[in-house]
Amino acid sequence: MMSGITGELWHRINEKRGEYLQLLKSLLSFPSVSATGEGMEEAAGRVAEVLEKVGLRSDIFTDHGGYPIVWGELREERHGTLLIYNHYDVQPPDPLEKWTSPPFQPTIRNERVYARGACDNKGNLAARLCAIDLLLDTIGEVPLNIKFLIEGEEEIGSPHLSKFFQNHREILSADACLWEMGGASPDGRPHIYLGAKGILYLELHASEKRPDLHSSWGAIVRNPAFELVHLLSSMRDRSGRVLIEGFYDDVQMPDSETVALLEELSGFESEVRAIVGDEGLLSNKSAKELLFDLTLMPCINICGIQSGYTGHGSKTVLPSSAFAKIDIRLVPGMRPERVLELVKRHVERVSGGRVSVVPLDMGYPAARTHPSEPFVQLIARTAESAYGMKPIIYPSSAGSGPMYLVTELLQMPCVAAGIGDHQSNVHAPDESISIENYLKGILHVALTIVNFVPFMRGGVTPYL
Amino acid sequence: MMSGITGELWHRINEKRGEYLQLLKSLLSFPSVSATGEGMEEAAGRVAEVLEKVGLRSDIFTDHGGYPIVWGELREERHGTLLIYNHYDVQPPDPLEKWTSPPFQPTIRNERVYARGACDNKGNLAARLCAIDLLLDTIGEVPLNIKFLIEGEEEIGSPHLSKFFQNHREILSADACLWEMGGASPDGRPHIYLGAKGILYLELHASEKRPDLHSSWGAIVRNPAFELVHLLSSMRDRSGRVLIEGFYDDVQMPDSETVALLEELSGFESEVRAIVGDEGLLSNKSAKELLFDLTLMPCINICGIQSGYTGHGSKTVLPSSAFAKIDIRLVPGMRPERVLELVKRHVERVSGGRVSVVPLDMGYPAARTHPSEPFVQLIARTAESAYGMKPIIYPSSAGSGPMYLVTELLQMPCVAAGIGDHQSNVHAPDESISIENYLKGILHVALTIVNFVPFMRGGVTPYL
**Which residues, numbered 66 to 95 in chain A, qualify as contacts with chain B under a Cβ-Cβ cut-off of 8 Å?**
91-92, 94
C-beta separation of A154 from A89 below 8 A? yes
Structural domain includes residue A390 = yes
Mutate to test the interface with B, among A34, A100, A200, A303 (most CBs of B within 10 A): A303
Cα R_g (chain B), whole angstroms: 23
Judge whether residue A197 has pLDDT over 70.
yes
Structural domain includes residue A446 = yes
Task: Give the residue from B321, B326, B301, B95 showing the smallest Cα distance to A305.
Answer: B321
Q: What is the mean pLDDT of residues B148-168?
A: 93
- Do A376 and A236 belong together in one domain? no
- Do B11 and B83 belong together in one domain? yes
Q: Do A208 and B277 touch (CB under 8 A)?
A: yes
* Sign of the C-alpha dihedral computed for residues A87, A92, A95 and A99 taken in this order: positive
Q: What is the pLDDT of residues B267-313, one digit of tens each?
A: 777 878 888 887 899 988 888 899 999 999 999 999 999 999 999 88
How many angstroms from the chain centroid is the CA of residue B194? 13
Q: What is the pLDDT of residues B218-246, one digit of tens each?
A: 999 999 999 999 999 999 999 999 999 99
Tell me the C-alpha distance between B282 and B456, whole Å: 42
B173: contact with A, CB 8 A cutoff: no
Q: What is the mean pLDDT of residues A54-59?
A: 97
Total structural domains in chain A?
2
Taking CB atoms and an 8 Å cutoff, what residues of chain B touch A396? none
Tell me which of B359, B374, B399 is where a domain ends.
B359
- Do A239 and A126 belong together in one domain? no
Q: What is the separation, in whole angstroms, between the first and last Cα of chain A?
A: 13
pLDDT at B158: 87
pLDDT at A47: 98
Tell me which of B344, B359, B374 is where a domain ends.
B359
Q: Do B215 and A322 touch (CB under 8 A)?
A: no
Judge whether residue B75 has pLDDT over 90.
no
Chain mean pLDDT for chain B? 95
Structural domain includes residue A278 = no
Q: What phi and psi values does residue B208 have, to the nearest 5 degrees? A: -115, 150
Q: What is the mean pLDDT of residues B431-447?
A: 98
Q: B1: pLDDT confidence band, cut at 50, 70 and 90?
A: low
Structural domain includes residue A431 = yes
Bigger pLDDT: A249 vs A288: A249
Distances (CA, A) of B380 to A243, B197, B198, B394: 55, 21, 24, 11
- Do A89 and A164 belong together in one domain? yes
Q: What is the mean pLDDT of residues A189-194?
A: 94
Residue B409 is given by DSSP the state I
Which domain range does residue B345 map to? 198-251+297-359
Q: Could you give the angle at the alpha carbon of B329 between the alpha carbons of B324 and B332, nearest 5°?
A: 155
pLDDT at A232: 98
| Among A91, A156, A240, beta carbon nearest to B220 | A240
Return the CATH number at A52. 3.40.630.10
A55: contact with B, CB 8 A cutoff: no
Q: What is the pLDDT of residues A201-234, one digit of tens each?
A: 999 999 999 999 989 999 999 999 999 999 999 9
C-beta separation of A223 from B301 below 8 A? yes
Percent of chain B with pLDDT over 70: 100
- Do A180 and A206 belong together in one domain? no
Q: What is the mean pLDDT of residues B111-136?
A: 98
Q: What is the pLDDT of residues A67-116, one digit of tens each?
A: 999 999 998 778 899 999 999 999 999 999 999 999 999 999 999 999 99
Tell me the C-alpha distance between A151 and B16, whole Å: 71
B428: contact with A, CB 8 A cutoff: yes
A313: contact with B, CB 8 A cutoff: yes
Tell me the C-alpha distance between A151 and A142, whole Å: 23
- Do A37 and A128 belong together in one domain? yes
Tell me the C-alpha distance between A213 and A91, whole Å: 36
- Do A234 and A146 belong together in one domain? no
Q: Which residues pair with A143 in a beta bridge?
A: none
Tell me the C-alpha distance between A99 and A290, whole Å: 30
Residue type, A266: S
Q: Could you tell me which residues come within 8 angstroms of residue B260 by beta carbon, excluding any fewer than 6 positions away?
A: none
| Among A201, A221, A308, beta carbon nearest to B305 | A308
* Sign of the C-alpha dihedral computed for residues A348, A350, A354 and A355 taken in this order: negative
Q: Which residues pair with A364 in a beta bridge?
A: A199
pLDDT at A219: 95
Q: Do A427 and B283 touch (CB under 8 A)?
A: no
pLDDT at B43: 98
B308: contact with A, CB 8 A cutoff: yes
pLDDT at A286: 86
- Do B139 and B54 belong together in one domain? yes
Q: What is the pLDDT of residues A299-346, one digit of tens each?
A: 999 999 999 999 988 888 999 999 999 999 999 999 999 999 999 999
> Measured between CA atoms, how close is B55 to chain A, in angstroms?
34
Tell me the C-alpha distance between A395 and B141, whole Å: 90
pLDDT at A1: 61
Tell me the C-alpha distance between A179 and A406, whole Å: 10
Structural domain includes residue B264 = no
- Do A246 and A302 belong together in one domain? yes
Task: Give the residue from A382, A418, A367, A434 showing the smallest Cα distance to A2.
Answer: A382
Tell me which of A311, A327, A359 is where a domain ends.
A359
| Among B280, B304, B329, beta carbon nearest to A219 | B329
Q: Which residue of A has its CA nearest to B359?
A: A314
- Do A222 and A326 belong together in one domain? yes
Tell me the C-alpha distance between B327 and B303, whole Å: 7
Q: What is the mean pLDDT of residues A119-124?
A: 97
pLDDT at B191: 93
Structural domain includes residue A292 = no
Mutate to test the interface with A, among B87, B209, B216, B432 (most CBs of A within 10 A): B216
Q: B157: pLDDT confidence band, cut at 50, 70 and 90?
A: confident
* Sign of the C-alpha dihedral computed for residues B167, B171, B173 and B174 taken in this order: negative
Task: Give the residue from B336, B345, B297, B325 showing the smallest Cα distance to B199.
Answer: B336
Q: What is the mean pLDDT of residues A178-195?
A: 92
Q: What phi and psi values does residue A412 have, to the nearest 5 degrees? A: -125, 145
**Which residues, numbered 11 to 50 in chain A, qualify as contacts with chain B under a Cβ-Cβ cut-off of 8 Å?**
34-36
Task: Give the lowest-confidence range in A16-25, A203-212, A263-272, B206-215.
Answer: A263-272
**Which residues, numbered 398 to 417 in chain B, qualify as contacts with chain A under a Cβ-Cβ cut-off of 8 Å?**
398-400
- Do A10 and A72 belong together in one domain? yes
Q: Could you give the angle at the alpha carbon of A121 between the alpha carbons of A120 and A125, nearest 5°?
A: 150
B153: contact with A, CB 8 A cutoff: no
| Among B157, B281, B430, beta carbon nearest to A314 | B157
Distances (CA, A) of A241 to A300, A312, B20, B99, B363: 8, 35, 63, 43, 39
Tell me the C-alpha distance between A114 and A106, whole Å: 5
Structural domain includes residue A187 = yes
Q: Which residue of B has its CA nearest to A159?
A: B314
Q: What is the mean pLDDT of residues A36-61?
A: 96
A300: contact with B, CB 8 A cutoff: yes
Tell me the C-alpha distance between A198 and A396, whole Å: 11
Q: Which residues of B251-270 are buried (b: 16+ CB within 10 A; e: fewer)?
A: beebeeebbebbeebeebbe
Tell me the C-alpha distance between B361 and B336, whole Å: 10
Distances (CA, A) of A378 to A165, A385, A460: 26, 11, 9
C-beta separation of A214 from A415 below 8 A? no
Taking CB atoms and an 8 Å cutoff, what residues of chain B touch A211? 98, 425, 428-430
Q: How many CB pairs below 8 Å do chains A and B form together?
A: 335
Task: Tell me which range, B74-78, B374-378, B400-404, is most confidently predicted by mean pLDDT.
Answer: B374-378
| Among A317, A398, A425, beta carbon nearest to B427 | A317
- Do A169 and A317 belong together in one domain? no
Structural domain includes residue B272 = no
Return the CATH number at A237. 3.30.70.360
Tell me the C-alpha distance between B167 and B160, whole Å: 11
- 3-class secondary-structure state, position B337: helix
Q: What is the pLDDT of residues A247-273, one digit of tens each?
A: 999 999 999 999 999 988 777 778 788
Tell me the C-alpha distance between A107 and A124, whole Å: 17
Taking CB atoms and an 8 Å cutoff, what residues of chain B touch A272? 220-221
Q: What phi and psi values does residue A204 have, to the nearest 5 degrees? A: -115, 125
Chain mean pLDDT for chain A? 95
Q: Which residue of A has its CA nearest to B321?
A: A304
Taking CB atoms and an 8 Å cutoff, what residues of chain B touch A222? 276, 279-282
Tell me the C-alpha distance between B57 and B49, whole Å: 10
Task: Give the residue from A437, A408, A442 showing the smallest Cα distance to A422.
Answer: A437
